[in-house]
Amino acid sequence: MSTSRRVALRPDEPTDPRVERVAGDEDAGVSTVWRVRSLGAARQLLRARHATTQAGFTAEAIPQGYLRHHPILVSDGPQHDEQRRKVARFFAPTVVAERYTTQMEDCADRLLGAADARGGCRLDELALLYTVEVTAEVVGLTESSVPRMARRLESFFRQPPFDITRRDLGRKPREWARAAVNGLVPVARFWWADVRPAVRSRRRRPRQDVVSHLLAEGYSGTGILVECVTYGTAGMVTTREFVVMAAWHLLRDEALLERYLVAEEVERLAILHEVIRLEPVVGHLYRRAQVAVPVSDGGHEWTVEPGDLVDICVRSANADPEAVGADPLDLCPGRALPPGVNAAGLAFGDGEHRCPGQPLALLESDVLLRRLLARRPQIVREPDLGWDHLIEGYWLRGLHLTW
Ligand code: HEM
């Protein structure tokens, strides 16, 4: 009997076949979709260099012709390689640890100190303030109020549902209008309140952060805004969900909690990697094939044709027993993995768009969780779990802790 300790379960989500082709109808604007649940096949597709383009996060509906610099998330090919090479220096593990550990510790101590006075906290709220403040420092959005910026970032996610397999995303004109308002109003607020003051201050005095780097590269205000939206949503909001999920797992498993509290950093990070493998925050990654891409799994071979949509089903791929071994839905930190398989599975993607923020996300989560869990909190209220359209991942709200 295999054990399942995954809590973010979607009952409506098929777990097989490992590679599935769902024929589309181009005349009706419906793409042929490859649902990929095998971790090996998923990696082949994500690593097919310059053969696919970003199709997730409604990227294909974002007008970008007027931007001089393509946004990192939707840019592809050699230009994207160059962008990634340049921002890598802000996110390398040693840089992150040396430059930001003290700031993370101070921020965690301050927020938890205020919670001490109240005898507890609502962790999803505290984690949002923490992840926004930490990421804002790295990105360079330091001229505005963190709680207000956090609210603005959260509002980006209030999008009407969409069907990624349809060229028009399956939205009616009224829903497009709502999507535009829901999207553009928060972006405009984010520009005026957070990005514009940060840009102005860095024009006068550049610092060691992403906004200063983009200014030096000649990005326009709009170009910088688009990148800040990416870092804000890709970096802050995802890490917040992960912190809550990791705390929830650790508080439900006394033996694991005791290990985490006494372990050295390497073992603590192994525990966090295993939690995010089991509970990936981003549930699906999408790519559009631009050329024919061969893919194989278990002796079968297929060709993804140009124009086809690839749906990497991260939750299934991360629980693929051929890649992560027996009991794929159990939580086994340090589980034996074959060479080349990341301990987080595909939770941070793979290939050209692989998350640059993985070391930052794990380090900042560890800094907060250690301090929080050392207070031996008790769960007063379990969180509600829901699903987000944009990242096709879970959200957890209302985890009340007391100590
Ligand atoms: C637990 C937290 C996080 C998770 C689960 C996560 C997940 C991901 C995933 C899955 C991708 C790949 C998207 C794709 O291939 O289509 C990605 C990309 C990205 N992430 Fe993260 N991320 C996290 C934290 C961060 C942080 C802290 C930052 C930086 C402040 C960050 C910045 C980015 C950026 C800029 C990209 C786009 C990279 C590109 O397209 O080349 N992420 N993230």
Q: Where are the domains of the chain?
A: 19-402
pLDDT tens column, 12-33? 889 899 999 999 988 888 899 9
DSSP type of residue 383? P
Helix (H, G, I), strand (E, B) or coil at 320: coil
**243: three-class secondary structure by DSSP:** helix
Report the pLDDT value the prediction gives residue 332, as an integer from 0 to 100: 96
So what's the pLDDT on residue 160?
67
Ligand 1 centroid to Cα of residue 330, in Å, is: 25
Q: For the ranges 119-133, 201-215, 229-243, which has the lowest average pLDDT? A: 229-243
Is 231 touching ligand 1 by the criterion CB < 6 Å? yes
CA of 105 to the centre of ligand 1 (A): 22
- Please give the number of the atom of ligand 1 that sits closest to the Cα of 83: 41
Ligand 1 lined by 394 (C-beta under 6 Å)? no
In a 10 Å sphere around its CB, with 0-12 CB exposed, 13-18 middle and 19+ buried, how is residue 299 labelled?
A: exposed
In this predicted structure, the answer to whether residue 237 has a pLDDT above a threshold of 90 is no
Q: Is 230 near ligand 1, meaning CB less than 6 Å away?
A: yes
Q: Is 121 helix (H, G, I), strand (E, B) or coil?
A: strand
What pairs with residue 36 in β-bridges? Answer: 19, 312
- The CATH fold assigned to 19-402 is Cytochrome p450 (1.10.630)
Mean pLDDT throughout 174-192? 81
Determine which residue's CA is closest to atom 35 belonging to ligand 1. 231
Quick one: pLDDT at residue 71?
83
**Ligand 1 center from residue 355 Cα (angstroms):** 4
Q: Which of 50, 74, 164, 355 to mutate to test the pocket of ligand 1 (most atoms within 8 A of CB)?
A: 355
- In this model, does residue 180 exceed pLDDT 80? no
Distance CA 41, CA 47 (A): 10
Strand partners, 19: 36
Strands 300-304 and 394-397: unpaired
Of the candidates 174, 169, 191, 141, the residue with the CA atom closest to the CA atom of residue 59: 169
- Are 126 and 393 spatial neighbours (Cβ–Cβ below 8 Å)? no
Does any ligand 1 atom lie closer than 6 A to the CB of residue 234?
yes
Is the CB of 73 inside a 6 Å radius of any atom of ligand 1? yes
Ligand 1 and 353: CB distance under 6 A: yes
Q: Report the percent of the chain where pLDDT is more than 70.
A: 97
Categorize the per-residue pLDDT at 64 as very low, low, confident or very high, splitting at 50, 70 and 90.
low
Distance 216 CA to ligand 1 centre (A): 23
138 lines ligand 1 (CB under 6 A): yes
Q: State the first-to-last Cα distance of the chain, in angstroms, to the nearest integer.
A: 37
Please state the rounded mean pLDDT for residues 82-86. Answer: 90
Nearest to 55 by CA among 338, 307, 378: 307
Q: What is the pLDDT of residue 174?
A: 78
Here the tokens at position 365 are 């989560």
pLDDT band at residue 1 under the 50/70/90 scheme: low
| Stated pTM of the model | 0.94
What mean pLDDT do residues 335-356 have? 95
pLDDT of 288 above 90: yes
Residue 88: its H or E element: helix 77-91
* Centroid of ligand 1 to alpha carbon of 300 (angstroms): 31
Atom of ligand 1 at shortest range from CA of 236: 27
Distance 285 CA to ligand 1 centre (A): 11
